[in-house]
Structure 1
Amino acid sequence: MRTQVAIIGGGPAGLLLSHLLHRRGIASVVLESRDRAYVERRQRAGMLEQGTTDVLRESGAGERLDREGLVHHGLELRFGGAGHRIPLTELTGRTVTVYAQTEIVKDLVARRLEDGGDVRFEARAVEIDPAAATVTYRQGGRTRTLEADYVAGTDGFHGVSRPAVPGVRTFSREYPFAWLGVLADVPPSTDELIYAHHDRGFALHSLRSPKVSRLYLQVAPDEDLAAWPDARIWDELAARFATGGGWELRQGPITDRSITPMRSFVAEPLRHDRLFLAGDAAHIVPPTGAKGLNLAVSDVTVLARAFAERYASGSETLLDGYSETCLRRVWRAEHFSYWMTTLLHADPHADDFARRLQRSHLDYVASSRAAATSLAENYVGLPLP
């Protein structure tokens, strides 16, 4: 079997890359180790930068996004029992949109299959030859080989793509806390996201739809999920979101819960021979800045453009510059995510001096238009490369 671009991983990065290549007349095969049902229900963040929504719309994959996405013009920082709104659109002229990653995947799977795309579920890649651009994979009890001109590794942090890059250099940081995230069948208690700093720990109130809320609590990295019954979760959320103005947190049935570790990670370079890394295979950010999915979209947008130049003119100039181009944006997003994380979380190892500095910085961001603009500019997303 042969194709032009072999794509390992059928998450949003791999599916979007395949879709963008199809629109440029470039053939691809997507190999996804899980079945379709698993891929379409895998819960992930869903805060989209304007650049991400623009890419989805321009590619023809944004119809349901435009119909169901929740556009936000601001966010709230809450600390010291008071809320402080950051007017994102007023400060930057741009917006962000809440649209679940599960829905993006469903939209992209549907588009690829409608267009006759080759998406192979339950096809687990086991070996990559970056020089020959071949992928050996297992499907239906058989071992097969897919030959290609190039291979795109979009198979996540634990995939086989990054280990296939010899001499890859990695940079990482582990954080002394994690997120307990829940989905609840209850209308959101807010129209815009609330990022709350509290002595008991960070909390985030997000939205999934007008009827579904997504909420997060800072917990210890080794926290036992069984120690958090519904009543304890709601009590802790209410305590961390409490204000002096009588704001109330709506409560309802919790339908899903999980604990997410917090880490920062970058691999360099993002290319070896004819293998290219993108998305979580190349970098991880703590979710505080909502950058993971958006970085993946940025990566594959750059990569699709580079492949288009290669097949249209024979030039590999953009392919040669892929790693450097993407890493500039990756490191900016890494820094912003690190900054948001350390600004808002309660560090269990911090002394009183560090806590006072943190509170002073929060006051500065909430009171300075320049500081708020810097936050807003990074949050809505810098222009795509």
Structure 2
Amino acid sequence: MTVQTIEVKLSESKGEKPLAEELQFGRVFTDHMFIADYCEEKGWTDHRVVPYEPLTLDPAAIVFHYGQTVFEGLKAYLSKEGKIRLFRPEQNMRRMNQSCERLCMPQIDEEFALEALKQLLIVDKDWIPKAEGTSLYIRPFMIATEPYLGVAPSTKYRFMIILSPVGSYYKEGIHPVKILVENEYVRAVDGGTGTAKTAGNYAASLKAQEVADQKGYSQVLWLDGVEKKYIEEVGSMNVFFKINGEVITPELNGSILEGITRKSIIQLLKHWNIPVIERKISMEELKEAHANGALEEAFGTGTAAVISPIGEFNWQDEKFVVNEGKTGELSKQLYDTLTGIQTGTVEDPFNWGVEVN
């Protein structure tokens, strides 16, 4: 982005804010949004905070036909002192540019995009919920807007940020969820777009999730797309296992998304001197660890849920329960510490928290 000014146009009407106990995930949106437009001749222009409203796009816009779009997800919190807090937002902007690179989309100015987000948050600060377990979800995204039906990168794009007050991602909250291991469909393969946060990855996951829902499971555990034996992700989260006192998470392999919560969990564990390793782990190894009583905990990590303990797996119609279906001690400690750092109630030795003034 080359123009370092942001025009602000305030909404003439304010939306009704939902009660904390009524908050769902991603159903309600704030009064304003940020927009910037791109064309090859001028680069990024027309940076603006404007009232939240529907978009008008040409029916031939490339995003509709070839899925050239990327997005991010992060959260804003309100501290006890009433300050707006972000958690490692620079990592999200960096990862968005990595996704843009994979999808042949233009880079954003990471520092300026973060400044635009801060200005939007100040305008819509009243939308940040205060109740425990709630937050303001932030969705930066980019779409290809050129009207063209040829298969080629767009020459025009729109970068936007929208905000949504949210409660827990899963209705279970920090309580353990049941997971169905997926043996037919795959999420991504090395060389594909698994390392990018792009819409097609999530569209491709819906069929497996539909099957899981029908069987009463909260999420799907994805296996690798080649041998279908090694664990990759759980739903839209990275996954961790505590086995014999050591924490194991699948190594980044070209198809696994580099989660910011994942990275933070690894740093926390090392800070606590808890053994943590990134390596391949198969379902056979996990099943054997459970049979031997070595599988102590399992949990998913991601922006939306932060930590989601896993209480049960179903693999090839065989069920095995983890930690008697209860939230593990380490899972709870990680959740409390990470959310405490995010909200400013726990010491932050890594300087992950960012206050918006």
TM range (shorter): under 0.3
Higher helix residue share: 1
TM-score by length of 1: 0.23
TM-score (normalised: structure 2): 0.25
